[in-house]
């Protein structure tokens, strides 16, 4: 399977498309694939598709165990995203010939010390009030499920949250886009082009890095943490997005490792109040994450971040000391002030936002792509996305 985008100097490149998608992470790729399936002519512009935050992610599809006080509408969207994932994975595998690595073994959340256990109990009460499916377990029951857990783990909660392999997912999406006819242009968008008066702007296309214009009726902004840097947007359409660095570690189980899996399902936990997770893959890889750092556009992992992740993960699952260290990798999450995405029409007619997915872009890619396709082809924002209009931070109205 090729993951190389077609060069933009490829002969026969039209100068206009129905839709230009800016950014080829999991969000832009999903949108481009869906829009092409709806019969539209789509160009996707990205100098290095699939290698932004989507490459760094752990791939958890975790609405329940990510649930946070005061973020109930995001929880509902996340549950819709998780419910959509199995059919999305099957459609993607059929369209691309590549398996996105969906694992549905569930997630175990555990507590390390007494303070962590008290926090877990509070979370269980909160989940019960919201009707979330969480099964309480003693430390012994947790170890029966995951025999390699540390002996001092005090108890846990079992949830249905699943995971997908984020890197296989973007590879499958690139293949699905190429096979369905998306024009993949390996360059950057320098500028969003508009026409009309300040009170009545309409998008007319984009200008590429070499100055070449591409005309289009619709432009989808899916440039992740870089979305607010795009030139040409009026002030009230600049998305309220900032980069939040996250580092993950990739460890590999040695092939001859005592004939045992070190972990069968996603393990999350708090260690002296700090959150850590371990996500196992089919091939023996274990992803350990993740830091949350306000460091601007610096995407280099720090020694301190790596140390904290290893320190906390090892207290929950001591056996990770024996795994092979493969890499430490950081990405920039596109974060918003309320931790929820920005999806839908903007103050500029034809300009659609699909960004700001923060910690949940892999989870929310399928529902985001469905919504963007509905906005572009039917001028309708599906109910599930109504609360996530980009206008909630601009105090502006969509032009009639």
Ligand X SMILES: Cc1cc2nc3c(=O)[nH]c(=O)nc-3n(C[C@H](O)[C@H](O)[C@H](O)COP(=O)(O)OP(=O)(O)OC[C@H]3O[C@@H](n4cnc5c(N)ncnc54)[C@H](O)[C@@H]3O)c2cc1C
Please tell me whether residue 360 binds ligand X under the rule CB under 6 A: yes
- Window 229-268: contact mask with ligand X (x via CB under 6 A): -x---------------x-x--------------------
* Residue 239 CB, nearest approach to ligand X (Å): 11
Kindly state the tokens that stand for 182: 């998306």
* Residue 139 CB, nearest approach to ligand X (Å): 25
Kindly state the tokens that stand for 393: 């931070």
One of 224, 269, 301, 350 touching ligand X (CB under 6 A): 224
* Residue 32 CB, nearest approach to ligand X (Å): 11
What are the angstrom distances between the C-alpha of 26 and each of 119, 254, 326, 354, 360?
33, 30, 23, 11, 11
* Residue 369 CB, nearest approach to ligand X (Å): 11
- End-to-end, the C-alpha distance of the chain in Å comes to 44
* Residue 358 CB, nearest approach to ligand X (Å): 6
One of 172, 189, 219, 315 touching ligand X (CB under 6 A): 189
* Residue 146 CB, nearest approach to ligand X (Å): 19
What are the angstrom distances between the C-alpha of 290 and each of 341, 361, 394?
20, 15, 31
Please tell me whether residue 92 binds ligand X under the rule CB under 6 A: no
One of 222, 237, 313, 352 touching ligand X (CB under 6 A): 222
Please tell me whether residue 127 binds ligand X under the rule CB under 6 A: no
Please tell me whether residue 106 binds ligand X under the rule CB under 6 A: no
**Residue whose C-alpha is closest to residue 126's, from 109, 139, 144:** 109
Between residue 14 and residue 33, which ones bind ligand X under the rule CB under 6 A? 22-28
Report the distance separating Cα 102 and Cα 46, nearest Å: 26
One of 34, 218, 265, 333 touching ligand X (CB under 6 A): 333
Please tell me whether residue 188 binds ligand X under the rule CB under 6 A: yes
What are the angstrom distances between the C-alpha of 356 and each of 54, 293, 305, 359?
13, 16, 23, 9
Please tell me whether residue 177 binds ligand X under the rule CB under 6 A: no
Q: Measured on CA atoms in the order 366, 370, 375, 377, is the torsion positive or negative?
A: positive
The residue with tokens 């943490």 is 225
Long-range contacts made by residues 78-85, C-beta under 8 angstroms, separation at least 24?
A: 78/360, 78/363, 78/364, 80/367, 80/384, 81/360, 81/363, 81/364, 81/365, 81/366, 81/367, 82/161, 82/162, 82/363, 84/366, 84/367, 84/370, 85/61, 85/162, 85/164, 85/363, 85/366
* CB nearer to ligand X: pick between 98 and 353: 353
Report the distance separating Cα 184 and Cα 303, nearest Å: 36
Task: Calculate ∠ Cα 115-333-126, nearest 5°.
Answer: 35
* Residue 363 CB, nearest approach to ligand X (Å): 4
* CB nearer to ligand X: pick between 23 and 390: 23
* Residue 258 CB, nearest approach to ligand X (Å): 28
Please tell me whether residue 301 binds ligand X under the rule CB under 6 A: no
Query: 217 exposed, middle or buried (CB, 10 Å; 0-12, 13-18, 19+)?
Result: middle
* CB nearer to ligand X: pick between 40 and 222: 222
State the pairing for strand pair 42-45/16-22.
Answer: parallel
One of 63, 243, 269, 289 touching ligand X (CB under 6 A): 289
Q: Among 33-41, 42-50, 96-104, 304-312, which window interacts with ligand X (CB under 6 A)? A: 42-50
* Residue 261 CB, nearest approach to ligand X (Å): 20
Kindly state the tokens that stand for 156: 């846990």
Count of residues engaged in binding ligand X, rule: CB under 6 A:
44
Cβ-Cβ contacts under 8 Å for 235 (sequence gap 6 or more): none
* CB nearer to ligand X: pick between 204 and 330: 330
Report the distance separating Cα 63 and Cα 78, nearest Å: 5
* Residue 333 CB, nearest approach to ligand X (Å): 5
Between residue 45 and residue 64, which ones bind ligand X under the rule CB under 6 A? 45-49, 51-54, 56-60
Residues that bind ligand X (CB under 6 A): 22-28, 45-49, 51-54, 56-60, 188-189, 222-226, 230, 246, 248, 289-290, 331, 333-334, 355, 357-363
């Amino acid at each position: 399977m090729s993951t190389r985008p077609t060069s933009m100097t490829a002969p026969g490149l039209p100068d206009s498309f129905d839709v230009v998608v800016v950014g080829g992470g999991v969000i832009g790729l999903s949108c481009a694939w869906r829009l092409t399936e709806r019969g539209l002519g789509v160009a996707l512009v990205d100098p290095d598709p699939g290698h932004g935050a989507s490459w760094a992610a752990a791939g958890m599809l975790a609405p329940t165990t990510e649930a946070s006080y005061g973020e109930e509408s995001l929880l509902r969207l996340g549950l819709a995203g998780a419910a959509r994932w199995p059919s999305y994975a099957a459609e993607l595998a059929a369209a691309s010939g590549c398996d996105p690595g969906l694992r549905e073994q569930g997630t175990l959340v555990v507590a390390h010390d007494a303070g962590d256990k008290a926090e877990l109990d509070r979370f269980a009460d909160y989940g019960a009030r919201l009707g979330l499916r969480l099964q309480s377990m003693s430390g012994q029951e947790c170890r029966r499920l995951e025999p390699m857990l540390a002996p001092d783990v005090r108890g846990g909660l079992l949830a249905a949250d699943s995971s997908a392999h984020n890197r296989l997912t973007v590879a499958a999406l690139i293949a699905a886009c190429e096979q369905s006819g998306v024009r993949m242009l390996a360059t950057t968008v320098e500028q969003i082009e508009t026409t009309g008066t300040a009170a009545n702007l309409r998008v007319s296309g984009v200008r590429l890095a070499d100055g070449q214009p591409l005309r289009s009726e619709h432009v989808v902004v899916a440039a992740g943490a870089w979305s607010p840097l795009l030139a040409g947007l009026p002030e009230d359409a600049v998305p309220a997005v900032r980069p939040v660095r996250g580092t993950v570690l990739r460890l590999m189980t040695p092939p001859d490792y005592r004939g045992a899996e070190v972990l069968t399902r996603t393990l999350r936990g708090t260690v002296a109040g700090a959150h850590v997770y371990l996500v196992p893959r089919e091939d023996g890889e274990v992803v350990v994450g993740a830091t949350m750092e306000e460091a601007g556009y610096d995407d280099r992992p720090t020694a301190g971040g790596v140390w904290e992740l290893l320190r906390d993960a090892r207290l929950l699952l001591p056996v990770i000391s024996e795994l092979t260290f493969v890499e430490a990798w950081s990405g920039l999450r596109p974060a918003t002030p309320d931790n929820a995405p920005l999806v839908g029409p903007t103050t500029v007619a034809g300009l659609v936002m699909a960004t700001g997915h923060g910690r949940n872009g892999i989870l929310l890619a399928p529902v985001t792509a469905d919504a963007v396709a509905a906005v572009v082809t039917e001028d309708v924002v599906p109910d599930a996305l109504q609360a996530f209009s980009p206008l909630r931070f601009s105090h502006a109205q969509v032009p009639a």
